[in-house]
Amino acid sequence: MQDSFYLVSVAARGWETPDIITFDLTSPAGGELAAFTAGAHIDVEVAPGLVRQYSLLNDPAERHRYRIGILKDPVSRGGSVAAHAIQAGAQIRIAGPRNHFELADGPHETLLLAGGIGITPLLCMAQQLHQEGKPFAMHYCARSRAAAAFLPLLATAPFAENVHLHFDDEADEQRLDLKTLLPALAPDAHLYVCGPGGFMAWCIETALAAGIDDARVHREYFKSDIAAEQPGDTSFEVQLASTGAVYTVGAHTTILNVLREHGVTMPASCETGVCGTCLTGVVSGTPLHRDLYLTNEEKAAGDVILPCCSRAASALLVLDI
């Protein structure tokens, strides 16, 4: 079942840049909120029936508030526009927190690569890593200083010396040089990447080309540029391992929608293949992955699928449901 939604109060609303706002969300009763770990996000009902996911950016040790930052996206599907209309003092519904972007355990070196609004989960990670005394560096890329959020916070943070800023409109020598940076990492280092699709593709491709194992390159996408429906799609069947029931998935629908139509409930959130909420086991058959959540190794294994966007390369896909 999906996490239940509950009310929180918008205790504070502020501007980080002309396009990025922050919300401090608190319990209406004034009590503590559920604990969270770095990388976690919450589902926010920004308008009736319209739910979006936002990373928690504040210190995970805090229990009195959740803090989120929201970019007003010029090509928004409506979520960020609705979010920017929420005012301080309002009560809104949220679910979670949930975490599909956890920090890996261990004393290894950590590299945080943030692009634009992708700074939000990595800022939370930096706070947790600092508190745990673990080695890390953060590289934050933005179009300009004016477009970069949380610069005063980063400048005064106890881990400020670990932060490196890079701006598109400033001198070439201050730009992020991944081809030099990545080979110098320790062999067991872990990377965490979040930001626009192009930035993430560049970071991930450069990391893999540098010989860093894909399992140590962790990523969180805010949206997918991969179309769930593509030319050449054909029908296939899905079977539920628990009941043997078989359903046909047409060329113009998704596994998730077909299951819903037949009364099969399962957790789902983003429905674009980036959050991992609907991750489902595959008993047999060959998935056709169209998500941005699974690693290349996980996709090659073929034993899980995100039914919100992915399909089948075989005539029948048996799901562990």
Domain holding 117, by residue range, is: 110-220
| Contacting residues for 148 by C-beta, under 8 A, at least 6 apart | 17, 119, 140, 142, 165, 167
Among candidates 290, 280, 289, 261, which has minimal Cα distance to 318?
Answer: 280
pLDDT number for residue 208: 94
CATH number at residue 277: 3.10.20.30
Q: Which of 98, 126, 143 is the last residue of a domain?
A: 98
- Calpha distance 82→84 (Å, rounded): 5
Please write the tens of the pLDDT for every residue from 113-171.
999 999 999 999 999 999 999 999 999 999 999 999 999 999 999 999 999 999 999 99
pLDDT number for residue 228: 56
Q: Has residue 1 got a pLDDT over 50?
A: no
Q: Which of 54, 71, 98 is the last residue of a domain?
A: 98
Q: Has residue 183 got a pLDDT over 50?
A: yes
CATH number at residue 206: 3.40.50.80
CB 248 within 8 A of CB 261: no
The verdict on residue 226 lying in a domain is no
Q: Has residue 258 got a pLDDT over 70?
A: yes
Same domain? 300 vs 210: no
Angle, alpha carbons 103-268-237 (nearest 5°)? 120
Which of 82-86, 99-103, 162-166, 227-231 holds the top average pLDDT?
Answer: 162-166
The verdict on residue 283 lying in a domain is yes
Chain mean pLDDT for the chain: 91
Q: Which of 98, 121, 151 is the last residue of a domain?
A: 98
Q: Output 43 or 76, whichever has higher pLDDT.
A: 43
Please write the tens of the pLDDT for every residue from 197-211.
899 999 999 999 999
